[in-house]
Amino acid sequence: MTRICILGGGFGGLYTALNLSRLPWAVMPEIILIDKSDRFLFTPFLYELVTSEMQEWEIAPTFAELLADTGIQFVQGLVTNIDFEAKQVEVNIGQPDVLKYDRLVLAIGAETPMNLVDGASEYAIPFRNLNDFYRLNSKLKLLEASNRDKIRVCIAGGGSSGVELACKIADRLKDRGRVRLVDRNHKILANSTDTNRKIAELALSQRGVWTDLNTKISQVTDREVTLDYADGSDTLPVDMIVWTVGTTFTKMLQNLPVKHNHQGAIATESTLQVKGYADVFAIGDLASCLDANGYLLPATAQVAFQQSQYCAWNVWASLNQKPLVTFSYIPLGEFISLGIDGATASIFGKFSIDGLPAHWMRKFAYLLRMPTSQHQWKIGTYWLTKPLIQLFRKSV
Ligand SMILES: Cc1cc2nc3c(=O)[nH]c(=O)nc-3n(C[C@H](O)[C@H](O)[C@H](O)COP(=O)(O)OP(=O)(O)OC[C@H]3O[C@@H](n4cnc5c(N)ncnc54)[C@H](O)[C@@H]3O)c2cc1C
């Protein structure tokens, strides 16, 4: 039987697997999805866990639940190596195992580099997955339970992750919080629209978040952070440092005998096939994929989601002797959450809205992006009935 192996069950891999299972197969191939975690993570909502606006089951459903009745097999294991010549993947599922493939999809995403600055790997907390959230949450809980008057949090990186986290943490800590956002650029949200940036700047200042621009973090210890400004440096006391800067890839990916770009992402053809390997596809954060104008596509869920549709089609086409299609990305806009019940949205980069309407628009748009209609239905009805349940609880 033909076997398709998909490595990584994130926005690229899980959605490719689901799309593949819905295509018209004469004989259904074996579709195997491999992930080291037992659950998918809808990363854009990870910030909502910090403020308890959402719960884990809403944003991180298990693969077992999502893949029930799809025919897709799930293997929980860590991919440790790929042999393109032997067409096989080495996976650690508690013990080493080997899976042969006819078609392979690489979608294990990227990682946050914690070695850019002295002390960061020991003392700073990244924010990319559920384990990072658990770490951040326990640290915040400890600080909240302490007798400290103020809780000083330093966030490295003024991209969307840093800005969104700063607003959520400031809302969680309220008057006790002293949140500082540090970026080496002269502005936050360097890749966003001017309107989104202005709204975000206002949201940060309304929450009393201090923003240090043109500033580099040069050292991190368990209780201090050293900041280098254009005209000197300063070492400040902090209680917690969150690191959102940079992108890197696992050693395993970096060592693959394929073409990488300068950042280490895997070079692909416009059909999403890995250059030099027609039976291997690469999508999502780990793929270096160019748009029609030759610009590198951003590492976003939006790109990975759109690639998953083309990738599934092209895998199907390659197994059914049909022509492959060229991936074409359509930027739909951007949502940035700004504290509890707040957000800013730019639609097609042209129209902007903010505040509660943007918050609900973001929630609704992301609801439609949830992986299966069953999960959409489950959380959609929960969101609708939650205010009624809360009202009922208050009245009894
Ligand atoms: C906090 C946060 C918020 C974000 N918000 C947004 C947003 O609002 N909008 C947006 O467009 N993008 C957002 N992004 C970016 C978006 O999450 C990524 O671009 C997207 O997830 C990339 O999809 P992917 O499939 O390449 O990787 P991922 O979604 O990261 O999936 C990779 C999967 O591979 C698995 N894996 C990794 N290594 C291995 C291994 N060796 N073996 C087995 N499994 C492995 C992981 O467990 C994971 O499930 C956000 C990212 C973060 C961290």
Would you tell me how many other CB atoms lie within 10 Å of the CB of residue 185?
13
Residue 361 reports pLDDT greater than 90: yes
Average pLDDT, the chain: 95
- Please state the rounded mean pLDDT for residues 204-222: 97
Does ligand 1 have an atom closer than 6 angstroms to the CB of 46?
A: yes
CA of 188 to the centre of ligand 1 (A): 22
Pocket lining: 35 vs ligand 1, CB cutoff 6 Å: yes
Does the C-beta of 8 come closer than 6 Å to ligand 1? yes
pLDDT for position 391: 80
- Cα separation of 218 and 234, whole Å? 10
pLDDT reading at 396 higher than 90: no
The predicted pLDDT at position 190 comes to 93
Q: Which SS3 state, helix, strand or coil, does residue 396 take?
A: coil
Ligand 1 atom closest to the Cα of residue 335 is 8
Give dist(CA 10, CA 111) in Å, integer. Answer: 13
pLDDT for residue 129: 97
Q: What is the pLDDT of residues 275-333, one digit of tens each?
A: 999 999 999 999 998 887 888 899 999 999 999 999 999 999 999 999 999 999 999 99
Q: Ligand 1 centroid vs 246 CA: distance in angstroms? A: 14
pLDDT for 259 equals 93
Residues 93-103 have a mean pLDDT of 96
The residue contributing the CA closest to ligand 1 atom 51 is 43
Q: In angstroms, rounded to a whole number, what is the distance separating the alpha carbons of residues 162 and 167?
A: 9
State in Å, rounded, how far the first CA of the chain is from the last one.
59
pLDDT value of position 375 = 97
Ligand 1, atom nearest to 112 Cα:
53
Nearest ligand 1 atom to the CA of 303 is 11
List the one residue out of 34, 38, 25 whose CA is nearest residue 72.
Answer: 34
How far apart CA 45 and CA 47 sit, in angstroms, is: 5
Q: What is the pLDDT of residue 284?
A: 98
Question: Is the predicted pLDDT of residue 135 greater than 90, yes or no?
Answer: yes
Distance between Cα 230 and ligand 1 center (Å)? 34
